[in-house]
Amino acid sequence: MTPTEMTKVGVKMYGRKKWKACLARDLGVDVSTIHRIGKKDRVPSVYEIAIAGMIHNWEARQELEKQAKKLGIGRKK
């Protein structure tokens, strides 16, 4: 995974404004770590694996919410 791909994933999951802070929180690291990773050629494998799992989970959750909405059992706010 490249830092550009990490950015795309972060923006997709968390939005453009706070993706770095939210990704750092969910990875259990300081936001400065996300900044440092962004300057590398490749995302270190330990973070790449974690981010891949997070995006998989996020996409599955999006699909479940879509199906629940079709069935009229969406989340109450």
Q: Where do the DSSP E strands lie in 1-77?
A: none
CA neighbours closer than 13 Å in the CB half-sphere of residue 68: 10
Say how far apart CA 43 and CA 38 lie, in whole Å: 8
From the CB of residue 61, how many other CB atoms can be counted at a distance below 10 Å?
10
Total-model pTM = 0.82
Instruction: Give the pLDDT band (50/70/90) at residue 76.
Output: low
- The total of other beta-carbon atoms located within 10 Å of residue 36's CB is 13
pLDDT tens, residue by residue, 22-68: 999 999 999 999 999 999 999 999 999 999 999 999 999 999 999 99
Task: Decide which of 73 and 25 is more confident.
Answer: 25
